[in-house]
Amino acid sequence: MGMQDADADSRVSSIRRRMLGALGAAGITTLAGCPGGSGNGTEEGSGETQTQAQQQTATPSAVDEIVEGGTLNVGLTSNPNSFDPPYSSGVPSTLVQNYFFESMVASDQQGNLYPWLAESYEVADVQETDRTEYADYMTTAPVTTNDDGVPIIDTPEQVVVQHPEDSLTDSAGNPVDEVRILLRDGAFEAATDGVFGMRLRYNLHEGVTFTNGEELTAENVVRSYDRVENSQISAQYFNTFLAAEAVDEYTVDLYAQVPDAEAERALPYYVFSTEQVDLDGGNLDPRQGNPPIGTGPWNFESFEDGNSFVVSLRDDYYMEDVGVENKEWYDGPEDFPNGPVIDEITHRFISEDAQRAAALQENEVDVAHGLTASAQTNFQDSADYQTKAVETGGYLFMQYPVQVAPFDQQNVRRAVNHLIPRQRMTDNIEEGWSRPAWTPLPELAYGAGTTDPEQLEEDLRPLNEFDPQRANELISNADVETPIEVQIETNSDNQNRVQKVQAIAQAMNQTDLFDATVETFEFGDFVGRLLDPSYAERGNIAVIGLSGTFNPGSFVDATHDIENFAQCCNFQMVDFEPINEGIDEARFDIDVVGNQQERASRYDQLWRQVVETSANSYLDIDLTVGAHSNDIKGFDAYPFPEGMYSYATYAPQSQQITYIDRES
């Protein structure tokens, strides 16, 4: 897994390629409820401190061995909701979308960015701007309240920026009459006038075509952001995105609102064809007669709702024209293919874990992911199958009711933290297919997230070890009566998660310090419960999964930033000023834009603060695992399941390609 690091580092010297970027999966921090699929990652569980992700070299030793052609059969977990990227959510949907839609940059497993549809790009301009400077371009909009009495801005337009000094409520808590907002026109004006935080310039390849024959131009890129307006993901993008401008036919400028170390990753989005960019929200879907048209290497063949999904290889993929060896960053073997080599991929949707494992076992599918820990162990041990694993970009965490006594005391929270049997949970429940979260930072974000991952773990692990004695000390120092009664809650449909929570409760109850009970809720109910602002007053502990991105900040801002209160993932009104500042300074500071070392060291301090404050306890980080038969060569996993297959079939940035060889 580190195979690209050395080379990549040498190329990462320039501002252009920093350890940021997400393949397709936009920078969304999401609640990982994982209904339907349980367990990830497979690993030799041996009770060792660190489980090594088992990874075979994914690149073929010689390009000559690649066999072209064939049909790959994939076993997926669930049906996608929609093929329309801004109007869908969840892994199953993004997974199918990634076959068709591409972005100007692509990413590898460590999150390094590579110009993709763009031949090259640069951070052209960074300015010390804050959001108040857009005031001249803002208009006003009235404020009303919705049914729950929450004040909302009454406008049908997409709000790009709300003036930071204009709150929706006055000091008495009553809604104000109006508020200043920046709309898209105003944003474009500001950007072209020179009022912006950052400007990134992308030079597109010429001759890139969509599957309908249309050529990709800068105009497509700019228009694609129109599709994001008022969609399900608009909040993500318009938090940082200011405007896009087509400078000429093949040059695009993207503007960020403020200096943002994540801009290179956060700004680019999928590119839609002119034919489809104006479709009504949700209608970009074969069920509506609009099969996806993208620049990707795959043609849409068929989709049977709830059943199957088939794609076939294009013969006019742009990389054939450009030639992967001509890509600036390419440093692999000669004659590396200019696109995937598999003719066709058929996917079956199999939501039952047992059935999926059976399908793989019976060779009715060639590859599957999301199997149970035991199944993955068995496939790994078998001579006819292999597993490829990579640490997931997410973790399971516990959030304390920091506003409610006695959990408003740091000592109490840290006591609980010392009673979490992390290692035993990994060994017994995940059978080694996960890593105890001694730090809240998954491997994929190590690049910008820490200056020295091993040192970080060494420093922080003692704060997270199972230590009933220490817990006793902490409680006796706290102002509290024992046993402390508390309810730990999680969603019921993820078996592994429920087992972990039960283990924690029992470990807590084995001391006399706590009297913990476990309560589970159906996922939908649980989400509704958590997102209710009154949840923070209840005094219950919540356990849920977080799915982040390559951005190290995603592993702390979701759970600590007060901006995210009553959303994912700050349910308990966590609000610690030093941490809030730390989050901001590690991303939105002009000193860290372009300076990864500085950024990483700021994060190092932040992690320490986070673990000491213990507003959250981090339980484990699991592995994304693909299990496949020996006929499939070169397959590799990806930290986000939604990118797995599109990455595995062709990712020259890692010299990654999958091919089928059925006779051996």
Partner 1 sequence: MSTQRGRIRITGFDPTRVDERDPLSEWVEDGETEPESRWRRAWRRFRRNRSAMLGVAVVALLTLLAVFARPVELFGVTVQPIALTPFEPDTILYLTPEYANIGPYSPPSGTALLGTDGTGRDILSRLLYGGRYSLSIGFIVVFITAVIGIVYGSVSGYYGGLVDEVMMRVLDVIFAFPGLVLALVVVATLGGGYWQLVLAFTVFGWAGYARLIRGEILQVKQNEYVMAARALGARDRKVIFRHIVPNALAPVVVQASLSIGTVVIGVAALGFLGVGLDPTTAEWGTMLNAARSTLIQGPGATLPWWATVFPGVAIFLFVMAMNLIGDGINDALDAQDTTVTQGGGA
Partner 2 sequence: MSLRRFIARRLLSVVPILVGVSLVTFGLANLAPGDAIDLLVSFNPNISPTEIAQIKARYNLDEPVWSRYFIWLTSAVQGDFGVVISSNQPVSNVIVSRLPPTVLLGFLGWLIALVIAIPAGIYAAVNKDQLGDDASRFLALSGISIPNFWLGLMLILIFAVWLNLFPVLSPQKPLLSPSMLWFLLLPGVTIGTAASATLMRIMRSSMAEELNKEYVTAARAKGLPERTVILKHVLRNSLISVTTVAAFLTANILAGSVVVETVFGWPGLGRELVRAVVGREINLIMAITLFTGLALIIANLLADIAYAVLDPRIRY
Residues that bind partner 2 in the complex, under the rule CB under 8 A = 28-31, 33, 35, 81-82, 84, 87-90, 146-147, 150-153, 155-156, 159, 230, 232-236, 239, 281-283, 285, 287-288, 304-308, 346, 348-352, 354-355, 358-359, 361-362, 364-365, 522-525, 527-528, 531, 558, 564, 567-569
Query: Using the rule CB under 8 A, which residue among 89, 209, 288, 428 binds partner 1?
Result: 428
The secondary structure of 442-499 as a DSSP string is -GGGHHHH-S-HHHHHHHHGGGTS--HHHHHHHHHHSS--SSEEEEEEEETT-HHHHH
The three-state secondary structure class of 422 is helix
Q: How far apart, in whole angstroms, are the C-alpha atoms of residue 450 and residue 452?
A: 5
Q: Minimum distance between the CB of residue 146 and partner 2, rounded to whole angstroms?
A: 5
Q: Decide whether 7 or 525 has the Cβ nearer to partner 1.
A: 525
Print the SS3 string covering 312-354.
EECCCCHHHHHCHHHCCCCCCCCCCCCCCCCCEEEEEECCCHH
The Cα 427–Cα 46 span in angstroms is 7
Binding piece for partner 1, criterion CB under 8 A, among 246-254, 354-362, 454-462, 603-611: 354-362
* Between 220 and 426, CB nearer to partner 1: 426
Contact 198, 125 (CB under 8 A): yes
CB of 162 to partner 1, least distance (A): 37
For residue 498, state whether it binds partner 1 (rule: CB under 8 A): yes
Nearest CB to partner 1, comparing residues 253 and 353: 353
By a kind-dependent CB cut-off of 5 to 8 A, residue 498 interacts, out of partner 2, partner 1, none, with partner 1
596 binds, among partner 2, partner 1, none (CB under 5 to 8 A by kind): none
Q: Rounded to the nearest 5°, which phi and psi values hold at 425?
A: -65, -45
User: Which of 187, 258, 313, 375 is the binder for partner 1 (CB under 8 A)?
Assistant: 375
Q: Is 485 in the site for partner 1 (CB under 8 A)?
A: no
As measured in angstroms, the least distance from the Cβ of 647 to partner 1 is 24
Measure the CA–CA gap between 126 and 117, rounded to whole angstroms.
23
Which of 62, 289 has the CB closer to partner 2? 289
Report how far residue 61's alpha carbon sits from residue 122's, in angstroms, rounded to the nearest whole number.
33
| Contact partner, 507, from partner 2, partner 1, none, Cβ < 5-8 Å per class | partner 1
Asked if residue 480 lies in contact with residue 539, where contact means CB atoms within 8 angstroms, the answer is no
146 binds, among partner 1, partner 2, none (CB under 5 to 8 A by kind): partner 2
CB of 498 to partner 2, least distance (A): 17
Is 502 a binding residue for partner 1 by CB under 8 A? The answer is yes
Q: Which two tokens stand for residue 447?
A: 């690049």
Q: Residue from 209, 410, 492, 596 that binds partner 1 (CB under 8 A)?
A: 492
- How many CA atoms lie within 13 Å of 365's alpha carbon, on the beta-carbon side? 23
Q: How far is the CB of 46 from partner 1 (least distance, A)?
A: 13
CB of 581 to partner 2, least distance (A): 21
User: What's the Cα-to-Cα distance from 220 to each of 190, 215, 276, 645, rounded to whole Å?
Assistant: 21, 9, 10, 26
| For partner 2, the closer CB: 33 or 186 | 33
Q: What are phi and psi of 3, to 5 degrees?
A: -60, -30
Residue 512 CB, shortest distance to partner 1, in Å, is: 15
* Contact flag: residue 361 with partner 1 (CB under 8 A): yes
**Binding of partner 1 by 512 (CB under 8 A):** no
Q: Determine which residue in the list 139, 307, 476, 495 makes contact with partner 1, applying CB under 8 A.
A: 495
Cβ neighbours, 10 Å, residue 131: 18
Nearer to partner 2, 466 or 565 (CB): 565
What is the smallest separation between the CB atom of 343 and partner 1, expressed in angstroms? 28
Exactly one of 240, 372, 386, 658 binds partner 1 (CB under 8 A); that residue is 372
Distance CA 591, CA 655 (A): 33
Helix (H), strand (E) at residue 424: helix 422-428
Residue 429 contact among partner 1, partner 2, none, beta carbon within 5 to 8 Å by kind: partner 1
**What is the distance between the alpha carbons of residues 46 and 49, in angstroms, rounded to a whole number?**
9
Task: Indicate the SS3 state at residue 98.
Answer: coil
Nearer to partner 1, 50 or 510 (CB): 510
Residue 525 found at the interface with partner 1 (CB under 8 A): yes
b (16+ CB within 10 A) / e for 411-436:
bbbbbbbbbbbbbebbbbbbbbbbbb
Pick the binder of partner 1 from 444, 507, 558, 579 (CB under 8 A): 507
Asked whether the beta carbons of 393 and 404 are under 8 A apart, the reply is no
The one among 259, 421, 440, 545 contacting partner 1 by CB under 8 A: 421
Rounded distance between C-alpha atoms, residue 29 and residue 477, angstroms: 36
- Which residues are CB-contacts of 11 (< 8 A; sequence separation ≥ 6)? 17, 329
Cβ closer to partner 2: 162 or 511? Answer: 162
Smallest gap from Cβ 270 to partner 2, in A, equals: 16
Closest of 425, 299, 328, 394 to residue 105, by C-alpha: 328
Do 442 and 555 touch, CB atoms closer than 8 A? yes
Under the binding rule (CB under 8 A), the answer on residue 123 touching partner 1 is: no
Decide if residue 354 touches partner 1 (CB under 8 A): yes
If one asks whether residue 427 binds partner 1 (CB under 8 A), the answer comes out as: yes
The Cα 100–Cα 169 span in angstroms is 43
**Residue 20 or 503 with smaller CB distance to partner 1:** 503
- Binding partner of 33, given partner 2, partner 1, none, CB within 5-8 angstroms per partner class: partner 2
Which of 4/372 has CB closer to partner 2?
372
Q: Which SS3 state, helix, strand or coil, does residue 9 take?
A: helix
- Please, what is the minimum distance in Å from the beta carbon of residue 285 to partner 2? 7
> Burial of 278 by CB count in 10 Å (0-12 exposed, 13-18 middle, 19+ buried)?
exposed
Closest distance of CB 487 from partner 2, Å:
18
Q: Which residues bind partner 1 (CB under 8 A)?
A: 38, 352-355, 357-358, 360-361, 371-372, 374-379, 381-382, 384-385, 421, 424, 427-429, 492-493, 495, 498-499, 502-503, 506-507, 510, 518-522, 525, 627
